[in-house]
Structure 1
Amino acid sequence: MKEPKVEVGILSEPQIEFVLHAPYRISGKEASGRQVATYDGGKILWNGRQYDELLFEPLQESAAAFELLDVTIGINFHWERKEDQRFQGSLKIIVENGKLTGINVVNVEDYLTSVISSEMSATASLELLKAHAVISRSWLLAQIRKNKELTATRADYSASTRTDEELIRWYDREDHTRFDVCADDHCQRYQGITRASTDIVRQAIAATRGEVLTFDGKICDARFSKCCGGAFEEFQYCWEDVAHPYLAKQRDYPAPELPDLTQEPDADRWIRTSPQAFCNTTDKKILAQVLNNYDQETTDFYRWKVEYTQDELSALILKRSGIDYGQIIDLVPIARGTSGRLWKLKIVGTKKTLTIGKELEIRRTLSSSHLYSSAFVVDRADLSAEGIPRRFILTGAGWGHGVGLCQIGAAVMGEQGYKYDAILLHYYIGAGIDKLYD
């Protein structure tokens, strides 16, 4: 198999400004320097002419780079911001949803070099970086194959079910139909060559070139999150109702055995305490390996607290869901996954009661950006005579969905001397490591 290319959606705007830092070829002509493309009545307006699509290809791929201006990163997160970003490979511009979408067409291994530098600090240990290279490559190639299958069958993995009593909705990466993956946390954080890669990152990519995780002859859907909170979540509690054997229940530590966190008393006890786990660390040296500067603005992610007044919570839920529950009487856990993450939560209000899920829908509804995770318990405080709380305290565990590799746990394992294959097989149970291409 030859090394594939990947199409990465970088930004979607009415106008895209970019700089070609070397000569690029487009429709048999050369272009370089600062450029502007504008959405114009369903077409792309560039250099005074309209186009359906633009493709800028470098004359010398190894030496060329282009820059996209004002790219939004951290979309819907508390640290959302804009920055100029530089990329290797080709630039494709298409019309999509009444805007222009800028797409970077790049070799998989070059893409991975950026992902590893973008997802975590380039100062991370070699074994952690090698492990992350394998899972990022695995997830990407599995995703490309899955998208092709969806296109061929016209299937759609994203879904929701709604009744008067229940709204269960989940989100996956299949909503990209015109490119393979996006560049933000929705897929894998990718910022081109904006953040300088180091020798150790390039060493990790080269040492694992073409390697992927496999199970039963197929590339694994190698999910990962920042911090599992001490226990792995299973795939089906976050996305479609498919159980992947390699994404299974397990404690993020060799012993003792994990309690049954699908049961409310065990989940309550687990979340309110701070059990030993690889990811239970406050070591700044280790955290700096995984968390870039803006991620370090988030603290206390192994166990955390969020407090809302009644007015804050009722207004927040109305704004985020579009549903008027009135005053919030209670947030009732209905169903939890294997890490204690809620995948069904009942919101009881004075005007309406509704059970929502899955985990990301819960996190989006209860935060102006994203709640750290859906592994939380609720305390109601200062009840009125009518039994309506004036305050809600959410005590939670972990950061992200908790499925697959836990980045902070893996960083700790790397510091403790575990090799990358041992790290991978801790988080992807029963998987193997195979080489797809040289």
Structure 2
Amino acid sequence: MKAPQVSVGILFEPKIEFTLHIPYLINGIVVEGKQSVLFQQGQIAWNNVLYDELLFIPTNTDTGSFELEDVTIGINFHWERKENQKFRGSLRIIVEDDKLTAINILPVEEYLTSVISSEMSANASLELLKAHAVISRSWLLAQIQKNKDLKSGKEQYSNQQINTDDEYIVWYDKEDHVNFDVCADDHCQRYQGITKASTSLVQQAVHQTEGEILTYNGRICDARFSKCCGGVLEEFNTCWEESSHPYLAKKRDSIDNENIPNLKVENLAVKWIKGSPEAFCNTTDKKILSQVLNNYDQETTDFYRWKTEYTQKELADLIYKNTQLDFGEIINLTPISRGVSGRLIKLKIEGTKRSRIIGKELEIRRVLSSSHLYSSAFIIEKEDIQNNIPQKFTFKGAGWGHGVGLCQIGAAVMGEKGFKYDSILLYYYINANIEKHY
């Protein structure tokens, strides 16, 4: 098989400005330099002509690149910002939701070189980079295959939302994208084109694992990963649809992977989160952390165990802003159900005016933060209670991200301990296989 192409949604704005660094072809015409497109009358206005879509193809695929202005990175996260970004390959512009969408089309292996440099420090160990190349390739190809299966009717997707006065349960996944394979932000995989300089080590990692993927029972693994599991790997259905992936299952992030408390039980989850149990990802070693955390990620220093505090007004205002529902003063936040890592699946918000259960994990993190809480594996402590109304809430939590699949910080520690990339992969993806796909 030949390495496939991937289409990546980069920018979503009414106006998009970009620069073509070499001559590009569009409709048989050669163009170069600064360009500007505008959403107008349901179409794309470019050079005073309206189009349904535009496709710019480099005349030289080895040297062709373009730069997009004001690309938002870290969407809805604490370090959200805009920057100009450069990309190789083709540029497609389409209309979506009364805006324009800029899509980068390029070979999978070239995409992976950027993803590894964007998701990880380019100075990470070779074994860690090779492991990440395999999981990023596997995840991407699994999503592309899933989209094909959904379109052909071979696979059904369960995106049932519960939305009643008493309960709101929703999850967010890749299927949000219908006009391209993946987006460029953390919702999918962090991709910043050639803005993030790759090193020879990253290129070596991608080249040495070219075409390698994880499989389970003959299917490409949906190889999820997160920054820090907090000590125990979570199951797939805690975070997304109610389907089972045996390779994404409960496991201790430790050589001692047998000793796992039942973190679905509230008092055991409280004890676990309040403690600091040994785990691969329980590290403060800056050399190791710098392999996984880019500069803006290093703005976060506590993630294995973390703490966030809110006043009554701060929390009530936050919940109102994120739900558009007036709960009044917040009386209690009650855990309803947890996953195997202690992550909350359902949480009940009780206020003086109304109560409602929310879930799954990302919705809980979204509602209770101005960006996203680091994870939904947290406990709540109430303080300064006046007339049964707490005046202060302290959240104590574990981990960063959903905790499913490979734990990036845990894997970095394993790499430093001498584990090879295949051992790291088969540790986190239980009973999976590594196969050459192309």
Does 1:357 pair with 2:359? yes
Matched-pair contact (CA < 8 Å) for 1:159–1:171: no
Aligned to 2:97: 97
Structure 1 equivalent of residue 28 of structure 2? 28
Deviation, 1:323, is 1.2
| SS of 1:170 mapped into structure 2 | coil
**Equivalent AA in structure 2 for residue 353 of structure 1:** S
TM-score, structure 1 as length reference: 0.98
Secondary structure of 1:103's aligned partner = strand
1:8–1:179 CA contact under 8 A, matched in 2: yes
- Structure 1: unaligned runs, 5 residues or longer: none
Write the distance in 2 (CA, Å) between the matches of 1:339 and 1:304: 15
AA in 2 matched with 1:435: K
Q: Quick check: 1:339 aligned with 2:341?
A: yes
C-alpha separation in 1, matches of 2:162 and 2:82: 35
Q: Which residue of 1 aligns with 2:261?
A: 259
Matches within 5 A, 1:151-166: 151-153=151-153, 156-166=157-167
Partner of 1:175: 176
Measured in 1, the distance between the counterparts of 2:177 and 2:63 equals 30
SS at match of 2:31: strand
Give me the whole-angstrom Cα distance separating, in 2, the residues matched to 1:76 and 1:63.
33
Matches within 5 A, 1:213-228: 213-228=214-229
Distance 2:156 2:215 in 1: 24
1:212 aligned counterpart, secondary structure: strand
Alignment of 1:33-432 (within 5 A): 33-153=33-153, 156-255=157-256, 257-384=259-386, 386-432=387-433
CA distance in 2, matches of 1:99, 1:335: 39
CA distance in 2, matches of 1:96, 1:397: 38
3-state SS of paired residue (1:200): helix
For 2:156 and 2:14, how far apart are their aligned partners in 1? 29
Can you give the 5+ residue segments of structure 2 that lack an aligned partner in the other structure?
none
**1:31 aligned counterpart, secondary structure:** strand
Q: Which amino acid aligns with 1:202?
A: Q
Shift of 1:211: 0.3
Amino acid at match of 1:245: P
Partners of 1:322 and 1:150 in 2: CA distance: 33
Aligned partners of 2:158 and 2:242 also within 8 Å: no
Write out per-residue CA displacement over residues 172-224 of structure 1, whole angstroms, 9 at most, x where no aligned residue: 11010000000000000000000110000000000000000000000000000
Cα distance change, pair 157–100 in 1 and its aligned pair in 2 (3 A): farther
8 Å CA contact retained: 1:158, 1:174? no
Provide the C-alpha distance between the structure 2 equivalents of 1:195 and 1:330, rounded to a whole number of angstroms: 44
Given that residues 158 and 171 in structure 1 are in contact (C-alpha distance below 8 angstroms), is that contact kept between their aligned partners in structure 2? no
Alignment partners' CA distance in 1, 2:245 and 2:325: 34
TM-score of the pair, normalised by structure 2: 0.98
Q: Distance in 1 between matches of 2:274 and 2:136?
A: 32
CA drift of 1:156 comes to 4.6
In the aligned structure 1, how far is the partner of 2:28 from the partner of 2:166?
59
Residues paired across the two proteins, number? 436
Answer whether contact 1:158 1:172 (CA < 8 A) is retained: no
The 3-state SS of whatever aligns with 1:17 is: strand
Task: Please state whether the residue corresponding to 1:118 is helix, strand or coil.
Answer: helix
Q: Give CA deviations for 1:297-329 in whole Å, capped at 9, x if unaligned.
A: 011100000010101001100001111111000
After superposition, give the CA deviation of every residue in 1:221-245 in whole Å (9 maximum; x if it has no partner). Answer: 0000000000000000100001110
Q: What is the aligned-residue identity percentage?
A: 66
Q: For residues 99 and 150 of structure 1, what CA distance do their matches in structure 2 show?
A: 26
For the residue of structure 2 that corresponds to 1:259, the secondary structure is: coil
SS in 2 for 1:206: helix
- 2:148 alignment partner, SS class: helix
> Which one-letter code corresponds to 1:36 in the other structure?
S
- On the 8 A contact 2:276/2:305 being kept in 1, the answer is yes
Q: CA deviation at 1:163?
A: 2.6
Matched AA of 2:115: V
1:11 equivalent to 2:11? Answer: yes
